[in-house]
Amino acid sequence: MWCRRAIVACATPCSLVDGSNEDPVSTSLSWEHGLHVAFAQPSSPEAGAVLNATLPGLAVALNNSLNHQDLQRVAALDPLTGVYNRRFGLQRLTEEFGRSVRSGDPLGVLMLDLDHFKAVNDTYGHLVGDRVLQTVVRAARQILREGDVLLRYGGEEFIIVLPGAGR
């Protein structure tokens, strides 16, 4: 076996921590892509050659995966409130509805509409209106359970999906 343990750390510059009380890392290899691998035991020249050939591609794949995850997260969230947007939220509602039908568990759905919100925007401006929406979201998050889904359905309309909530 050419190494007892490998530590692969982030694809951006970072510190490596072995996490054990054994001897400090004795062999360390770095690549221009920012991926850093360290070994607790010295590696063989053959192992180093294999790593030199494969890890640059691995670093690119890891970076692409992290970028994809970030894009998915950004695409699912409303930029003003930080809650799910309509498209992603309705997808979650569909998933929860299917789960409820299959399991026989209840599913609660609430729709919130802030009355006279247009008057707030017209009277005090959109910045104040944005703060009102953000305050409503903060208040809703404080009372929702873990697993409940809050989504911004429209301008001042929100839907809350409450898995397991009956009467």
Q: Is 156 part of the annotated catalytic residue set?
A: yes
| pTM for this prediction | 0.59
Residues sharing a CB contact under 8 Å with residue 130, sequence separation 6 or more, in sequence order: 80
Annotated active-site residue in 32, 95, 146, 156? 156
Given this model, what pLDDT does residue 52 score?
A: 72
Residue with tokens 């930029």: 79
**Which fold, 86-163?**
Alpha-Beta Plaits (3.30.70)
| DSSP states along 66-98 | HHHHHHHHHHHB-TTT-SB-HHHHHHHHHHHHH
Show the low-confidence residues of the chain (pLDDT under 70): 1-43, 51, 63-74
Residues of the chain with CATH 3.30.70.270: 86-163
Helix axes 126-143, 117-124, angle to 10 degrees: 140
Chain centre to alpha carbon of residue 147: 15
Q: In one letter, which amino acid is 55?
A: L
